[in-house]
Amino acid sequence: MITIANKLARKELIDMVPYQSARRLYSSGSDSSAATRQNKVWLNANEASGSGTYQINSNCINRYPDFQPENLMNAYSAYAQLNTENILATRGADEGIELLIRTFCKAYRDSILICPPTYGMYAISAENHGAGIVKVPLINNQLDLESIKAQVGQVKVVFLCSPGNPTGNLLTTDSIKAVLEMFDDNAIVVVDEAYIEFSPEYSTASWLKEYPQLVVLRTLSKAFALAGLRCGFTLANSDIITMLSKVIAPYPISAPVAAIASNALAKSGLEQVRNRVQETIILRQQLSAWLTEQTWCESVYVSDANFVLFKTATLECKNFIFDCLKAQGILIRDQSKQVQLANCLRISIGSERELSLLKQTITLAFNK
């Protein structure tokens, strides 16, 4: 039977596969309480392993929040060292991606450019909107500048991801500048900095004055340990922010989100981020070193973020590791369907205990 949804929906949505987010693949259950979550070790979504605790005041919850809550904007402005007119707070960086495509790409006419293997939501948002997708794969995890240059004039938005997900490494500063210069005034060049707190000295946010076509995406989901909050930021010149503000929902940031996010951006919150980043980098180095020593591990990707990608020797080996971890409730991310990433798995840097459990489980499985 043809359902009303099938009959009336845009035809291209009928066969479209939605983004297989970590939590869609494995949900945390109907109640996402600590008890339910404690049954599993979540190393598949590049979240932080623990969060701070925040008190919120729900007194004014009968009122709509400000379009861009002032406390939050001032807090992020101080953190990012930019004026508030250069910042748009969104429901995660994911909403920033979607807004950029909806604002700059005419459906069924314009295209975006992505450099796979990369974050899946650029393509999903483009597909949802009816924008074309031009793919210029990375070469050795860096941009293929020649092939990107061949697309000048063909695309409206270019998505670069640095540090890249799922590869983990930073793109070179020179290559990002080269892309900005080659597209000049005929495409928006987005640098997705979701993981930049793990390598803050490489942020491109300070280039905004120099490059009006640059847009930087940020999030509180990673180093700030607030993935459940859904709060991100789009940084750009004020004309771009004004344009995106015409497309975004009327009240994108709820009052509790604004209150918690402002707290996380205050002095003590930032101190916690610095400590978390330091601990994560140490654990990441230990995990990478351990993986490198394993006979079944063919290569370990260099990571500048809070996760490690590695390639196993064979498909069977990749499945064996993924399945033995899953059987013990340890969830990591299979990246093997992405271009160039056959037999690759990605592990988020969880707590020391979680990573020890992961290593023990794999070691035991191979020694059985």
Ligand X SMILES: Cc1ncc(COP(=O)(O)O)c(C=O)c1O
Query: Can you give the binding site for ligand X, defined by CB under 6 A?
Result: 46, 92-94, 119, 161, 165, 192, 194, 219, 221, 227, 232
Give me the least distance between CB of 225 and ligand X, in Å please: 12
* 3-class secondary-structure state, position 142: strand
Q: Which residues contact 253 (CB under 8 A, 6 or more apart)?
A: 65, 68, 69, 72, 89, 90, 91, 231, 261
In sequence order, the β-bridge partners of residue 334 are 345
3-state SS class at 192: strand
Cβ proximity to ligand X: between 98 and 110 the closer is 98
Nearer to ligand X, 22 or 82 (CB): 22
CA distances from 326 to 320, 322, 331, 332, 334 (A): 10, 6, 6, 8, 11
Beta carbon of residue 12, minimum distance to ligand X (angstroms, whole number): 24
* Shortest distance in whole angstroms from residue 59 CB to ligand X: 28
- The CB-of-81 to ligand X minimum distance in angstroms stands at 20
Smallest separation (angstroms) from ligand X to the CB of 139: 19
CB of 216 to ligand X, least distance (A): 11
Q: Which is nearer to ligand X, 221 or 262 (CB)?
A: 221
Q: Which is nearer to ligand X, 65 or 96 (CB)?
A: 96
* Strands annotated E in the chain: 41-42, 87-90, 111-114, 132-135, 157-161, 188-192, 214-219, 232-236, 297-300, 307-312, 330-331, 333-334, 344-348
176 in Cβ contact with 160 (< 8 Å): yes
Please identify, using beta-carbon distances, which residue of 167 and 361 lies nearer to ligand X: 167
* CB of 65 or CB of 166, closer to ligand X: 166
For ligand X, which is the closer residue by CB, 89 or 362?
89
Closest by CA position to 231, among listed 253, 210, 212: 253
Q: What is the DSSP letter of 64?
A: P
CB of 336 to ligand X, least distance (A): 18
Rounded least distance, CB 74 to ligand X, Å: 20
The three-class DSSP label of residue 286 is helix
CA triple 203-207-213, angle to 5 deg: 115
Q: How far is CA 253 from CA 231, 249, 261, in A?
A: 8, 9, 10
Of 77, 92, 72, 47, nearest in space to 231 by CA = 92
Please, which residue, 46 or 111, has the CB nearer to ligand X?
46
Laid out side by side, the sheet with 307-312 consists of 297-300, 307-312, 344-348, 333-334
Nearest position to ligand X, beta carbon: 92
